[in-house]
């Protein structure tokens, strides 16, 4: 091993050091003004197998420490003209160097001086001149201590990442039943003002709805040795009863006595078939991370708490949140199919309930159509009206257009889209937000139209005065706040244009300019981008994009008739094959609405 001094090879210590070969190689920065002492210490460290850097002033020391990230800094803190204490304080005050272990070399022991340095963050000290073996021993101890501190910091960081980043509630308790920690999700779930307030409560008296819930949970754990997704009732701060799922297993001591409970259901994987993998992960987490935590020795339980929606639907993963509500992937705990997922749409506040009820009524009218997202159930959750819908797997049309869509696939998608919109129009329902993000193409080609949250029943009037939609797909009248059934036809025309040309008919990054283009200009004919497009299809697209409502298709029913008149088999073969293989929908429905 060689000694590196300021990053350069030192000929003085370039000989092969066999006696340091079996020792862990570390990077050491030595800071000393005196060249003779510097060479002496560097030689000892290099002989022991370490890589050594040195510096002779404060600026050089900071630069090398930040560049090389040494395992240990050896600082001659009492060296004349070095201003060692100033260097020490600068190293400890910088974020890039404060966690590096510092071994102080003391030439004259002064108790107050050393105590002050230790209190300010020095790792250890050694008297010099002194024993070479003691110097090496203390260097290794400082390095090991710094490594252990880093591991603890990484453990805490990982713990907080898992603990606070989870959308499920988590808490840690002591054997005496006192809270050690909890995440913000649990604080919100239980309605407390702060984590500190929740951590002060008596678990036995204030967490469980009543004593029977606590006893039932303990009895199940002690009898079976573990529980997985047991339904228990907790009490919110306001006294409201909530239903949650708890999972865990009994922890025994070396004599087989029950000493506590260990939660074992962190969902690192969504697929329930991967349960064993998840359990192994949690055991590893508890063994490796929890002992490194400041309160690791007090830990009795690590519990995952999942609140049930309507006392039936387990939250699995949050899919999104918007200005009106949040969308969750959920599992029906009453279903025998563990991997059968649903979607819960939850309003953000009670005053939005009427809007969600309107969406439910619209979805009820569309039940049975293979291209409409299916409404499975409606429940109340904390006075919020929640829609439970089918979980649709597949790629959005937005993603597919980025990758490129084959002409045959495009025709199948268009035919199915037109069919579901025409079906909705037969009930005078306008979707009002048709766009690729709201269209999912499943693995076998079946199309699902999602998000009827903006949909409107126009059976009582011909237009809506609300401005709703996504700009590149909005018709001129929709931009002006007067959307009609025919506004959906315009959006279909934009989607058809995109699928046939890979371009939007109107687009500008500046919203005002985009609006101006939609209101004033005609689209470039699709054939200019795709010379192979059928002229009849081009005419249909351009008719969909007529600004004058009198020149546009009145609704998707009329559009569908024209499309099939031109080509009765348009998109039919693939679409029909898919429709024949899709839906087990009625078989999968578990309760009628």
List the catalytic residues. 433
User: How would DSSP label each residue in 571-592?
Assistant: THHHHHHHHHHH--HHHH--S-
Whether the CB-CB separation of 472 and 506 falls below 8 Å is answered with yes
Specify which residues 75 forms β-bridges with.
31, 104
Whether the CB-CB separation of 235 and 275 falls below 8 Å is answered with no
User: How far is Cα 169 from Cα 165, in angstroms, rounded to an integer?
Assistant: 10
Alpha helices in 228-296 (DSSP H): 275-288
Q: What is the CB neighbour count within 10 angstroms for residue 220?
A: 16
Packing angle, helices 535-544 and 485-501, rounded to 10: 140
In this structure, what token pair is assigned to residue 37?
């002492």
In this structure, what token pair is assigned to residue 70?
């040494």
β-strand 313-321 against 325-332: which pairing, if any?
antiparallel
β-strand 101-106 against 124-127: which pairing, if any?
parallel
In this structure, what token pair is assigned to residue 169?
């509630």
Query: Three-state DSSP class for 463?
Result: coil
Whether the CB-CB separation of 585 and 374 falls below 8 Å is answered with yes
Distances in Å between the alpha carbon of 540 and those of 501, 556, 558? Answer: 14, 12, 11
In this structure, what token pair is assigned to residue 156?
């805490």
User: How far is Cα 306 from Cα 304, in angstroms, rounded to an integer?
Assistant: 7
Distances in Å between the alpha carbon of 5 and those of 27, 45, 529, 553? Answer: 11, 12, 65, 81
Classify the phi-psi angles of 233: left when phi > 0, otherwise alpha if psi is within -120 to 50, otherwise beta: beta
β-strand 8-9 against 4-5: which pairing, if any?
antiparallel
User: How would DSSP label each residue in 87-99?
Assistant: HHHHHHHSTTTTT
Number of helices and strands in the chain (H, E)? 19, 23
Q: Which helix (H) or strand (E) holds 46?
A: helix 35-47
User: How far is Cα 125 from Cα 213, in angstroms, rounded to an integer?
Assistant: 57
In this structure, what token pair is assigned to residue 474?
């909005």
Angle at 249 between CA 245 and CA 255, to 5 degrees: 160
CA 287 to chain centre: 24
User: How far is Cα 60 from Cα 78, in angstroms, rounded to an integer?
Assistant: 18
């Amino acid at each position: 091993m060689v000694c590196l001094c300021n990053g350069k090879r030192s000929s003085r210590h370039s000989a092969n050091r066999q006696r340091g070969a079996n020792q862990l190689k570390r990077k050491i920065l030595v800071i000393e003004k005196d060249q003779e002492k510097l060479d002496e210490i560097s030689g000892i460290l290099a002989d022991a197998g370490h890589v050594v850097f040195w510096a002779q002033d404060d600026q050089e020391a900071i630069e090398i420490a930040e560049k090389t990230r040494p395992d240990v800094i050896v600082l001659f803190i009492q060296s004349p003209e070095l201003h060692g204490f100033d260097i020490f304080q600068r190293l400890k005050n910088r974020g890039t160097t404060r966690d590096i272990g510092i071994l102080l070399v003391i030439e004259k022991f002064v108790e107050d001086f050393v105590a002050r340095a230790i209190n300010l963050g020095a790792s250890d000290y050694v008297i010099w001149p002194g024993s070479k073996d003691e110097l090496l021993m203390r260097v290794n101890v400082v390095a090991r201590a710094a490594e252990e501190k880093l591991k603890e910091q990484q453990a805490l960081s990982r713990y907080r990442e898992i603990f606070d980043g989870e959308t499920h509630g988590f808490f840690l308790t002591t054997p005496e039943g006192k809270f050690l920690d909890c995440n913000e999700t649990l604080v919100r779930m239980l309605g407390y003002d702060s984590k500190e307030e929740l951590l002060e409560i008596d678990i036995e008296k204030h967490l469980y709805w009543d004593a029977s819930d606590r006893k039932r949970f303990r009895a199940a754990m002690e009898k079976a040795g573990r529980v997985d997704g047991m339904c228990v009732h907790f009490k919110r701060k306001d006294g409201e009863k909530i239903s949650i799922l708890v999972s865990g297993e009994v922890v025994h001591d070396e004599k087989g006595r029950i000493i506590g409970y260990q939660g074992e259901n962190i969902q690192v994987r969504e697929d329930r078939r991967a349960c064993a993998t998840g359990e192994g992960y949690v055991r590893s987490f508890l063994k490796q991370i929890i002992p490194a935590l400041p309160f690791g020795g007090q830990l009795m339980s690590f519990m995952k708490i999942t609140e049930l929606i309507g006392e039936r639907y387990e939250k699995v993963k949050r899919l999104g949140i918007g200005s009106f509500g949040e969308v969750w992937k959920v599992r029906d705990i009453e279903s025998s199919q563990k991997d059968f997922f649903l979607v819960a749409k939850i309003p953000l506040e009670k005053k939005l309930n009427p809007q969600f009820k309107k969406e439910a009524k619209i979805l009820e009218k569309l039940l049975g159509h293979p291209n409409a997202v299916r409404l499975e159930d409606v429940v109340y959750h904390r006075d919020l009206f929640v829609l439970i819908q089918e979980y649709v797997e597949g790629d959005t049309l937005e993603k597919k257009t980025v990758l490129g869509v084959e002409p045959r696939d495009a025709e199948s998608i268009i035919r199915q889209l037109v069919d579901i919109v025409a079906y909705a129009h037969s009930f005078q329902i306008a979707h009002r937000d048709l766009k690729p993000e709201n269209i999912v193409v499943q693995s076998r080609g079946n199309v699902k139209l999602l998000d009827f949250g903006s949909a409107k029943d126009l059976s009582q009037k011909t237009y809506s005065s609300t401005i709703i939609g996504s700009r590149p797909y909005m018709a001129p009248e929709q931009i002006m706040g007067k959307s009609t059934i025919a506004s959906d036809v315009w959006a279909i025309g934009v989607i058809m244009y995109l699928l046939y040309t890979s371009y939007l008919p109107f687009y500008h990054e500046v919203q005002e300019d985009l609006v101006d283009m939609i209101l004033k200009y005609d689209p470039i004919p699709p054939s200019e981008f795709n010379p192979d497009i059928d002229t009849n299809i081009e005419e249909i697209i351009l008719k969909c994009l007529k600004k004058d409502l009198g020149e546009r298709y009145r609704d998707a029913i009329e559009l569908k008739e024209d499309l099939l008149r031109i080509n009765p088999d348009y998109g039919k073969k693939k679409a029909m094959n898919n429709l024949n293989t899709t839906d087990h929908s009625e078989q999968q429905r578990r309760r009628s609405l």
